[in-house]
Amino acid sequence: MTSAPTDLPVLCGIILHPAAHTLSPVLHAAAYRELGLSAHYHAFDVPPDSVRDALAGMRALGLRQLSVSIPHKETVLELADRASEEARRIGAANTLTRVGDEIVADNTDWIGVRKTLEPLADWKDKRATVLGAGGAARAVVFALRSLEMHVTVVNRSAERAERVARELGAEVGTLEDPFDLLVNTTPLGMSPDLDSTPAAREVLRPDSTVFDTVYRPLETRLLREAASVGCRVQDGLDMLIHQAVEQVRLWCGRAPDAENLRAAALDVLKA
């Protein structure tokens, strides 16, 4: 009779709904290979009414870290044992790390936004319009405010837009407001809904930058139309990569090379 192994791989993963589109398992697998970590990362399709059960499973199964995506980012912040200052200020979390017996909530999305936008321009005192008012929008607004931008939130639910704006130092507006940067944080245009767009072509300005946090496909209808009228465009892959790099660093104290993660993601997207 053989003894049970003592060096089982660490378990990590992502909770979201639906789960088919996520590239996070590809990114984390590439990071673990590079860093020589014995770890497995899985995508878990968790309906909104099962998030509490998912966190209980994290404890019971010994998962070391969970990424969190649509639509659970605000819910998990309420359920975690404690949270980082950034996650509390943002009001949403995209990362749960098990530290001893505690589940700690954090937010690395805002870091992904900053690292994506900082090389593009000096954004201080520029105007940004953010489409959406969910957990991703909260991280985007927080990041833009950290860049000292003037931020307007646009959402179908005025109540949700007002809450995000009030809590994060932004304003509520419309797509008719002038902007230097337009950021889509909604899932409109994400595969398989390729014909959808959160902003009509007529509101896009040639002298502006349009940033779509959707990464599947890399060229959404919004970005295609923005490029056609002369906008600078930015897809969501850089944000996804940079937030994943920070997630791995939070878990193990070491950061993988972002370019290695990009190569792994592009292999899948091109296929």
The catalytic residues are 73
In this structure, what are the phi and psi dihedrals at residue 96, rounded to the nearest 5 degrees? -120, 125
What's the rounded Cα separation, in Å, for the pair 129 and 63? 37
How many other C-beta atoms lie within 10 A of the C-beta of residue 119?
7
Round to the nearest angstrom and report the end-to-end CA distance of the chain.
Answer: 45
Helix (H) or strand (E) holding 212: strand 209-212
What's the rounded Cα separation, in Å, for the pair 219 and 230? 15
How many other C-beta atoms lie within 10 A of the C-beta of residue 11?
16
Looking up tokens 């070391």, which residue turns up? 64
Long-range contacts, stretch 145-149, CB < 8 angstroms, 24+ apart:
145/169, 145/170, 146/110, 146/114, 147/114, 147/117, 147/118, 147/123, 148/123, 148/124, 149/123, 149/124, 149/125, 149/181
What's the rounded Cα separation, in Å, for the pair 208 and 180? 5
